[in-house]
Amino acid sequence: NILIIAAVIVLLLAAYVFAVNYTPAEDTTPSPTPAAENIVVFETDSAQITKIAFDSPTPFALVKNGDTWYIEGNSAEIVQSSAFSILYNAAYISATTEIKKAENLADFGLDKPSASVTVYHGDSITKLLLGSKTPTDNYYYFKLDGDSKVYTISAYTADLFFKTPSSVRDLNVISLSTDEIAGIEISSPSNTLKVVKNTDAAKADEKSYTSLTKWSVVSPFNQIAAEERVNEKLLTPLSSINAESVAADGAASLAKYNLNTTVKIQAADKTYSLK
């Protein structure tokens, strides 16, 4: 017992001496440099915004009626989530840097701004001006109308200035699973192409579309179709169609659009007809 107690005492004394004399190695890991804070150039309560007007590239305005947003002068429904995204971006504009010497606005493309967005909020109207790109091409020059200060903003922030009516319109024309499609007919003034599943059923009754693995051409001739070609040329492009933009709402005359080809897609119990 005496030996054990002596050994414990020796260990405790050694630990004490080590703790008193131990000097930890200096930490040479560099401390991270704090990120520069963005400069808040414009901020308003998004709930107070009633109108956002764009002058470029396609002049239009988003207006608020109750809790719903519309394109001014157009009763067509728009994608509300897209309108709210624009709303929140317009309510808060931050810059990356402030140009200290900006006497000549022409140097920044702000003597004749390339685009502007006017925000109507409460009893105030604020006009945001976009200049040219910076030499590095990653930022744009920016200023508030009536303010002499010039800033740089990110390309992400500058995206607000390039909105068009199509930015808030639902551009999805059709969205189907390729497995749903049982027949396709494409008719132009000079030709008609029709392909269906199950050649035998189609020969007996061209309105019958049963689900088999093979495809057949039944017009303008009868022939087994190459399944990979049907997938590549018909099923894949026709199962998901998204428009680039809206050309017109309720056009009085469709003749100028040359809509002379009809596409009919048979899917389950529904037929889609496109021009």
Which segments in the chain show pLDDT lower than 70? 16-37, 199-213
Q: Which amino acid is at 143?
A: K
- Residue 54 has a pLDDT of 97
Q: What is the mean pLDDT of the chain?
A: 86
Q: Round to whole Å and give the CA distance between 238 and 182.
A: 12
- Residue 21 has a pLDDT of 65
- Residue 5 has a pLDDT of 78
- Residue 38 has a pLDDT of 83
- Residue 255 has a pLDDT of 82
Cα end-to-end distance, the chain, whole Å:
101
Q: Round to whole Å and give the CA distance between 209 and 203.
A: 11
Please report which helix (H) or strand (E) contains residue 6, including its range. Answer: helix 2-21
The pTM of the whole model exceeds 0.85: no
Calculate the CA dihedral of residues 198, 203, 204, 206 and round it to 10 degrees. 80
Residues forming beta bridges with residue 133, ordered by sequence position: 140
pLDDT in tens, 43-81: 999 999 999 999 977 899 999 999 999 999 998 899 999
